[in-house]
């Protein structure tokens, strides 16, 4: 019976600790109309210490969303527009010589913020992308001889434009894998867009209130780690990821020639983490298959390498993930 | 003396009449043989047309060749008789014989005999020349050319392919029969009608009950099997793909289907919710909840099973009897 009490306690604790989630959603809802999936994804990334790659045409409130989140959490926010002439030093900072003091001093770059928006990350060459991705992975930056820790929480939201590919530097697969989620942002619905227009032409644009301190997020992350994930769910997660690698073993022979490579072990880890965070957002102390299914597309879509056969057949990674989820038996 | 003279005169006259009639008959029947050509190359096949022209009521025997004309003129083929009725009331009977010769020189096709009553009519002798191939002696001697290979036709392959397929079929049947005999299985499977969803569900629930899983502290297994039985039942009953769907998705699917029993829906929702807690949240319900869950599962199947209306006169099937027994058992257990 102890275990029963544990789960009850955990549920109560999560019920208490996750109350801010609804408040964040409410505050963000004042500014962002619709885009509930984007807001949920931001929260998943924030709570599970992951980074997000956003893909969507310009004008879908990507910048506004992360800006609003920063203001709700009372955290630093910086936006970096990636351009072909951007240098790593512009991002992480550099040593500047002070003639007055006759010494070098460190000028920290915009990456030293809690929330970083890397706008159009594929417009900069590989060395700049690498500098950011290294900072994302290590959560520290070395300038000169000194290593500096990045602030906590540290969330990078990078954007990519799916329609203009000329003159871009596509992110290599190994680097894309470092993003926990790849979220595809779509246009708002008609009714939502009507509200957006109204808000934007009004005298005053709504503002979100600050309701959290960065420390609250760090505390919440520890609670998310406590969310119970059963062995059956772990097995379900592994089945999904393994199906992206060996589809023929799961009766999906038709995808064998279409997949060059499947999800890495990082995919399994991130799927489990994101599922926990999703359960937390839903104010539950344990993960259920619905949580795994809810985050599967975002976690896996950038981790499946498609072959030219798939492109010829017009099969996308979305289609493959959907088919996998519809084939693997739910525990 | 004068009497003898008169008799002699009559006899001579009679003989003359008879001979004249016979001569007239033979003159009305003509036989003829004609070659397609009078000269041809060694090995060429040439036709000989035999023709009989005769009045309607006469009979001429046309020869049927079983041997060659002689040792050098070979008969390759011969047709059957072709009869044509002329406007004059006569018949023309034709027969074609194909001959070939394999040496050069002059040859004579001997007269061909046609039987005409006791007489024999013969065609004229036909002379023809067989030429050798012209050889250019100024040129070098070449090897003999190999015979041309005709492409394989479907008619040639068909008997072999058919035979092969037949042989393969026989081998397959023999192997199949041997395997079935070894495995002690019936050689021809009888069609077994699919069991109704509720019969399967009742049987599986009975088995789960008898396995006494929760009594052995295998609570998670108990709820896993219980939900699997219900998912299978819903799949068989409502054709909803339940095994690849979560509890919430199954409930949503039921809502959009023709399922309209709110009470049963709530029962199923409760079972799924409790099972999810046990399966994924380490929740351990009390013993009464295990029993209640099982009873609810029976109740759900009982209330949602597909009932096929039957003619009261028709004899009851075994499965229906079983269903009734199950329903009775549930009612009795509910009462107790």
Interface check B289 vs A, CB under 8 A: no
Residues B225 and B161 in one domain: no
How many residues are present in chain A? Answer: 331
Interface check B283 vs A, CB under 8 A: yes
Residues B13 and B77 in one domain: yes
**B280 vs A287: CB contact, 8 Å cut-off?**
yes
Crossing angle of helices A231-245/A289-300, nearest 10°?
A: 30
Taking residue B233's Cβ as centre, other Cβ atoms within 10 Å add up to 23
- The CA-based dihedral angle spanning residues B250, B252, B255, B259, taken in that order and rounded to the nearest 10 degrees: 0
Residues B59 and B173 in one domain: no
**DSSP type of residue B215:** G
For an interface test with B, the pick among A6, A7, A328 (most B C-beta atoms closer than 10 Å) comes out as A7
pLDDT digits (tens, 9 = 90+) for A207-251: 888 888 888 888 888 889 888 899 999 999 999 999 999 999 988
Residues B259 and B242 in one domain: yes
**B281 vs A326: CB contact, 8 Å cut-off?**
no
Query: Coil, strand, or helix at residue B199?
Result: helix
Residues B329 and B202 in one domain: yes
Residues B207 and B324 in one domain: yes
**A325 vs B244: CB contact, 8 Å cut-off?**
yes
Contacts of B281 in chain A (CB under 8 A): 7, 11, 228, 230, 285-286
**B249 vs A290: CB contact, 8 Å cut-off?**
yes
Q: Are residues A160 and A121 in contact, defined by beta-carbon separation less than 8 angstroms?
A: yes
pLDDT digits (tens, 9 = 90+) for B309-333: 666 555 445 445 445 444 444 444 4
Q: Evaluate if residue B335 carries a pLDDT over 50.
A: no
Nearest CA in chain A to B227: A331
Is B143 within a domain? Answer: no
Is B137 within a domain? Answer: no
Phi (first) and psi of residue A288, to 5 degrees: -120, 165
pTM over 0.80: no
Res B183: pLDDT: 85
> What distance in Å separates the CA atoms of residue B148 and residue B259, rounded to the nearest whole number?
77
State the ipTM, two decimals.
Answer: 0.78
Read off the CATH number of the domain in which B43 is found.
Answer: 2.60.40
Token pair of A106 as six digits: 């460190």
Distance from CA of B296 to the nearest CA of A (A): 21
Is B212 within a domain? Answer: yes
pLDDT digits (tens, 9 = 90+) for B10-51: 777 777 766 665 555 555 888 999 999 999 999 999 999 999
Q: Are residues A207 and A31 in contact, defined by beta-carbon separation less than 8 angstroms?
A: yes
Range of the domain at B325: 197-335
Is B209 within a domain? Answer: yes
Among A108, A102, A97, residue whose Cα is nearest residue A143? A108
For an interface test with A, the pick among B225, B235, B281, B286 (most A C-beta atoms closer than 10 Å) comes out as B281
Residues B218 and B330 in one domain: yes
Interface check B281 vs A, CB under 8 A: yes
Query: Coil, strand, or helix at residue B93?
Result: strand
How many cross-chain Cβ pairs, A to B, lie less than 8 Å apart? 54
A contact set with B (CB within 8 A): 1, 3-4, 6-7, 11, 228, 230, 232-233, 285-290, 293, 325-331
Contacts of B245 in chain A (CB under 8 A): 330
pLDDT digits (tens, 9 = 90+) for B143-198: 888 888 888 888 888 899 999 999 999 999 999 999 988 888 887 877 777 788 88
Phi (first) and psi of residue A147, to 5 degrees: -105, 130
Q: Evaluate if residue A97 carries a pLDDT over 80.
A: yes
**A327 vs B244: CB contact, 8 Å cut-off?**
yes
Residues B122 and B161 in one domain: no
Q: Which residues of A118-129 are buried (b: 16+ CB within 10 A; e: fewer)?
A: bbbbbbbeeebb
Domain count of the fold of chain B: 3
Contacts of B244 in chain A (CB under 8 A): 325-330
Residues B162 and B216 in one domain: no
**A4 vs B245: CB contact, 8 Å cut-off?**
no
**A286 vs B241: CB contact, 8 Å cut-off?**
no
């Amino acid at each position: 019976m102890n275990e029963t009490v544990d789960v009850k306690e955990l549920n109560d604790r999560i019920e208490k600790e996750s109350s801010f989630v609804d408040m964040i959603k409410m505050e963000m809802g004042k500014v962002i109309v619709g885009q509930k999936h984007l807001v949920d994804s931001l929260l998943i990334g924030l709570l599970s210490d992951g980074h997000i790659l956003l893909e969507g045409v310009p004008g879908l409130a990507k910048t506004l969303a992360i800006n609003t989140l920063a203001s709700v959490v009372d955290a630093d926010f910086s936006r970096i527009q990636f351009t072909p002439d951007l240098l790593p030093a512009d991002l992480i900072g550099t040593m500047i010589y002070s003639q007055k003091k006759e010494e070098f001093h460190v000028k920290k770059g915009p990456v030293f913020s809690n929330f970083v928006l890397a706008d159009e990350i594929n417009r900069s060459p590989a060395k700049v992308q690498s500098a950011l991705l290294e900072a994302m992975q290590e959560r520290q930056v070395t300038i000169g001889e000194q290593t500096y820790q990045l602030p906590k929480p540290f969330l990078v939201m990078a954007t990519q434009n799916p329609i203009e590919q000329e003159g871009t530097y596509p992110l290599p697969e190994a680097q894309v894998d470092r993003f926990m989620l790849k979220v595809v942002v779509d246009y708002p619905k008609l009714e939502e867009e009507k509200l957006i227009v109204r808000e934007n032409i009004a005298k005053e644009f709504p503002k979100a209130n600050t309701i959290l301190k960065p420390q609250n997020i760090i505390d919440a992350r520890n609670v998310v780690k406590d969310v119970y994930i059963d062995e059956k769910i772990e097995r379900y997660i592994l089945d999904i990821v393994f199906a992206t690698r060996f589809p023929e073993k799961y009766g999906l022979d038709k995808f064998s020639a279409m997949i060059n490579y499947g999800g890495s072990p990082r995919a399994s880890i991130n799927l489990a983490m994101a599922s926990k965070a999703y359960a937390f957002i839903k104010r539950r102390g344990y993960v259920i298959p619905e949580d795994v299914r809810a985050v599967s597309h975002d976690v896996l879509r950038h981790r499946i390498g498609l072959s030219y056969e798939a492109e010829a057949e017009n099969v996308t990674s979305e289609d493959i993930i959907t088919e996998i989820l519809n084939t693997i038996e739910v525990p | 003396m004068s009497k003898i003279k008169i008799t002699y005169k009559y006899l001579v006259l009679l003989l003359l009449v008879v001979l004249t009639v016979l001569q007239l008959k033979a003159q009305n029947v003509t036989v003829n043989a004609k070659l397609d050509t009078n000269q041809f190359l060694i090995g060429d096949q040439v036709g000989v047309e035999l023709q009989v022209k005769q009045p309607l009521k006469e009979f001429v025997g046309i020869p049927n060749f079983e041997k060659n004309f002689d040792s050098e003129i070979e008969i390759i083929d011969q047709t059957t008789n072709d009869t044509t009725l002329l406007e004059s009331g006569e018949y023309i009977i034709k027969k074609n014989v194909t001959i070939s010769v394999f040496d050069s020189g002059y040859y004579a096709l001997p007269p061909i005999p046609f039987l005409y009553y006791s007489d024999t009519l013969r065609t004229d002798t036909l002379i023809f020349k067989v030429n050798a191939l012209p050889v250019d002696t100024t040129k070098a001697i070449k090897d003999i050319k190999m015979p041309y290979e005709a492409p394989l036709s479907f008619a040639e392959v068909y008997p072999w392919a058919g035979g092969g397929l037949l042989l393969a079929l026989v081998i397959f049947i023999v192997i199949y029969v041997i395997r079935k005999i070894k495995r002690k299985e019936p050689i021809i499977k009888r069609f077994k009608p699919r069991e109704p969803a509720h019969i399967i569900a009742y049987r599986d629930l009975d088995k789960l009950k008898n396995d006494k899983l929760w009594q052995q502290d295998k609570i998670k297994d108990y709820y896993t099997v219980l939900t699997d039985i219900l998912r299978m039942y819903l799949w068989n009953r409502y054709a909803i793909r339940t095994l690849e769907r979560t509890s919430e998705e199954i409930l949503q699917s039921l809502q959009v289907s023709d399922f309209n029993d709110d009470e049963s829906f709530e029962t199923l929702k409760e079972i799924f919710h409790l099972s999810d807690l046990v399966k994924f949240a380490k929740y351990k319900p009390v013993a009464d909840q295990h029993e209640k869950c099982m009873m609810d599962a029976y109740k759900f199947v009982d209330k949602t099973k597909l009932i096929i209306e039957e003619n009261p006169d028709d004899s009851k099937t075994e499965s229906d009897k079983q269903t009734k027994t199950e329903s009775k058992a549930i009612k009795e257990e509910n009462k107790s």
